[in-house]
């Protein structure tokens, strides 16, 4: 595996961990931790897609990261 593979695998793993923890009611879908994990995972997956120059997933993962960041910002500023 090369660096791109490792970054992509890390990103996808973080996204899957967040999803499984949410399904098991360990993390709330409305919580900061869930939004943070989604942002980090999507950002890493987006970076790997940029490194591969694979536009469909660049767009998908960038949108996912931005939506997660938009959800995270009010939570970190104490607003709901």
Q: Could you read off the pLDDT of 24-34 as tens digits, one per residue? A: 999 999 999 99
Identify the pLDDT of residue 70.
95
Where does 24-54 have alpha helices with state H?
32-52
- Secondary structure (3-state) at 61: helix
Confidence bin at 79 (pLDDT 50/70/90): low
Confidence bin at 76 (pLDDT 50/70/90): confident
Structure tokens at 62: 């960038």
For the chain, the distance separating the N- and C-terminal CA atoms, rounded to the nearest angstrom, is 42
The model's pTM is 0.91
Identify the pLDDT of residue 6.
98
Where does the chain have alpha helices with state H?
3-23, 32-52, 55-76
């Amino acid at each position: 595996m090369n660096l791109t593979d490792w970054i992509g695998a890390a990103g996808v793993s973080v996204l899957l961990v967040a999803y499984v923890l949410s399904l098991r009611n360990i993390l709330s879908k409305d919580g900061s931790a869930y939004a943070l994990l989604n942002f980090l995972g999507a950002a890493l997956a987006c970076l790997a897609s940029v490194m591969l120059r694979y536009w469909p997933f660049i767009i998908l993962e960038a949108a996912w990261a931005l939506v997660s960041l938009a959800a995270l910002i009010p939570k970190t500023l104490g607003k709901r």
